[in-house]
Amino acid sequence: MVTKTIAIYVFLDDIFKSMGHKEPINRKTSDSEIATTLLIAALYFGGNIEKAISFVRSTGLMPAMLSTSRFNRRMHRMGEFLSGLFFQVGHALKELTISDTYIIDSFPVPLCHNIRISRSRIVQGGDSGGIHLYPR
């Protein structure tokens, strides 16, 4: 998880620099660190930003990470820039896909227990289709 975090940070930091993104000199936490923490929160912590902040602090990846309140302010301040950035990255990744074939992993989901299939409003008709696992 730490190596993926470092890879995400390097990737985002390079993109920020290539876009010519400028930051004030006196900032201790860069915008690429904010974006990295947001992606880590989405990937590993179910969107919980507080857990992601404590993770990057405790592992020593970003020891100067902002408090939750200050982090939220910075996140909302750069929200439009981040949405444009993620749109551009998504578009670039879409262009890189070689194949137009997508695989859908699916499996049958039971509607209800077979004992209740005769009362089901979803399945109308005689044959319910499937194996009766609960014979009477």
Question: Are 76 and 45 within 8 A, CB to CB?
Answer: no
- The tens digit of pLDDT for each residue in 73-110 reads 999 998 888 888 878 778 877 887 777 777 777 777 66
pLDDT at residue 134, rounded to an integer: 56
Q: State what percent of residues in the chain have pLDDT above 70.
A: 78
125 — pLDDT class (breaks 50, 70, 90): low
- Selected residue with higher pLDDT from 126 and 8: 8
What pLDDT is recorded for position 40?
A: 92
> Quick one: pLDDT at residue 93?
77
pLDDT band of 19, cuts 50, 70, 90? confident
Q: Is the pLDDT of residue 36 over 80?
A: yes
Q: Domain residues of the chain, as ranges?
A: 2-96
Other CB atoms within 10 A of residue 38 CB: 19
User: Which amino acid, 60?
Assistant: G
Please give the model's pTM, rounded to 2 decimal places.
0.64
In 3D, which of 68, 6, 63, 79 has the Cα closest to residue 29? 63
Q: Is the pLDDT of residue 128 over 60?
A: no
Structure tokens at 136: 């009477």
